[in-house]
């Protein structure tokens, strides 16, 4: 499942993968366009939908990160994977979870112990269970990122995302 972390769409780099529920695709698409991000792909699970968009704005002088808070007000939820936060420096992905216009938790795959948001440790039990953090953590295995994604998708019941 997690092969999409490194390159979700072959023709694009620096893609954000956005799972959404509690809101329509139209609402999300309009919000992304208002934030100057072009949706590139869309899929629908039973509870969650998914869309992808470039991390950066289409404007050449706009390198700000996407502010998702206004996009998920009034019961909306967004689970956002920033697949290449800085491809030039080779940073690991970031994850952000929003509900009702608030950032609940956010962390880099490089530093799982340093979460942000209203509930920075929300996913800590799930991350501990897959041995991504905690006393039994295995950081050296080749499946570290996959286990992180497994913890996130299991905790939030995100649908399978299969992109060749």
Q: How confident is the model over 104-127, as pLDDT tens digits?
A: 999 998 888 888 999 999 999 999
Domain boundaries, the chain: 2-156
CA distance 7 to 1: 12
With b for 16 or more beta-carbon neighbours within 10 A and e for fewer, the 30-62 pattern comes to ebbeebebeeeeeeeeeebbbbbbbbbbeeeee
144 has pLDDT over 70: yes
Which range is least confidently modeled, 16-30, 77-91, 108-122, 131-145?
Answer: 77-91
What is the model's pLDDT at position 31?
A: 94
* 105 close to 119: Cβ distance less than 8 angstroms: yes
pLDDT at 164: 46
pTM: 0.87
Q: Quick one: pLDDT band at residue 1, thresholds 50, 70, 90?
A: very low
Q: Is the pLDDT of residue 62 over 90?
A: no
pLDDT of residue 60: 62
Tell me the sheet residues that pair with 21: 77
Q: For residue 40, what pLDDT is reported? A: 85
- Cα separation, 96 vs 83, in Å, equals 11
Residue 64: name the closest of 76, 54, 51, 77 by CA.
Answer: 54
How high is the pLDDT of residue 162? Answer: 60
Q: What is the pLDDT of residue 80?
A: 95
Side by side, the strands of the sheet bearing 15-21 are: 41-44, 49-54, 15-21, 77-82, 94-99, 102-108, 111-116
Give residue 12's pLDDT.
Answer: 60
Q: How many CB atoms lie within 10 A of CB 136?
A: 9
């Amino acid at each position: 499942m997690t092969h999409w972390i490194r390159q979700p769409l072959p023709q694009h780099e620096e893609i954000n993968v956005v799972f959404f529920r509690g809101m329509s695709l139209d609402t999300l698409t309009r919000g992304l366009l208002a934030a100057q991000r072009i949706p590139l792909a869309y899929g629908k699970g039973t509870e969650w939908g998914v869309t992808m968009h470039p991390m950066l704005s289409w404007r050449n002088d706009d390198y700000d990160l996407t502010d998702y808070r206004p996009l998920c007000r009034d019961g909306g939820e967004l689970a956002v994977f920033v697949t290449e936060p800085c491809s030039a420096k080779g940073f690991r992905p970031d994850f952000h979870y929003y509900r009702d216009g608030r950032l609940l938790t956010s962390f880099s795959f490089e530093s799982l112990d340093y979460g942000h948001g209203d509930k920075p440790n929300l996913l800590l039990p799930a991350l501990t269970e897959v041995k991504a953090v905690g006393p039994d953590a295995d950081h050296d295995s080749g499946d570290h990122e996959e286990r992180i994604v497994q913890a996130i998708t299991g905790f939030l019941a995100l649908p399978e995302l299969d992109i060749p």
